[in-house]
Amino acid sequence: MTAPGGRRRRAPAMNADRRRAMIVQTALPLLTRRGTALTTAEVARAAGIGEATVFRAFADKQALLDACVAEVLRPDALLDRLTRIDREQALTGRLTEAATVIHAHLARLGAVLGALHAAGRSRQTPPPTGAAVGAVRAAVAALFTPDSDRLRLPADRLADLFLGLLSPPGPLGTAPPSTTALVDLFLHGTLTHPDGH
């Protein structure tokens, strides 16, 4: 940004929390592509800030990497997208949209943790908190409740099963089915009237 007379104007100040969040959001896609070869100078350049600003927000590069891991483990964005799914659409549509959102969340998480692991910089990743798991489970269960009169099992139990199907496969896992095929298979074992919509 250049002021009259050719002087460079400073970007508007932001509070420390917003600055940290902005730096992390900038670093995440770079981290998935570059792994830990990523430098703080690259992050600063991509964010349009000076490298000193990165170090005012984070003690060192490891602190930035730790913040990136913490960010992808947070369920906030996933919960927001799940709760915005239109409950008026058919159950098939609701679950297909949920599966797409959950797969995207897991792919982002896997990319960040995989990049760190490949570089030998992974630390013990803390499991999601009970509150976070419960919130995601409740958001998925809410997608079933408009069809509660047609369900074979309670909505919370179906949410557990659905989330289990979407979890990354173990070492014996085969290629995952498409989202459409997964939802179709899941629903035909869920509804008391399989031909219903």
| Per-residue pLDDT at 146 exceeds 60 | yes
Q: What angle do CA 30, 115, 71 make, to 5 degrees?
A: 65
**Residue 48 falls in which region: left (phi positive, over 0), alpha (psi -120 to 50) or beta:** left
**What local confidence, expressed as pLDDT, does residue 78 receive?**
93
**What local confidence, expressed as pLDDT, does residue 122 receive?**
55
The rounded distance, in Å, linking the Cα atoms of 33 and 100 is 22
Beta bridge partners of 151: 191
- Per residue in 25-46, pLDDT (tens digit) is 999 999 888 888 889 999 999 9
- Per residue in 56-83, pLDDT (tens digit) is 999 999 899 889 988 888 889 899 999 9
Structural domains in the chain, sorted by start: 16-70 (1.10.10), 74-188 (no CATH)
**Mean pLDDT for the chain?**
82
Contact between 125 and 69 under an 8 Å Cβ cutoff? The reply is yes
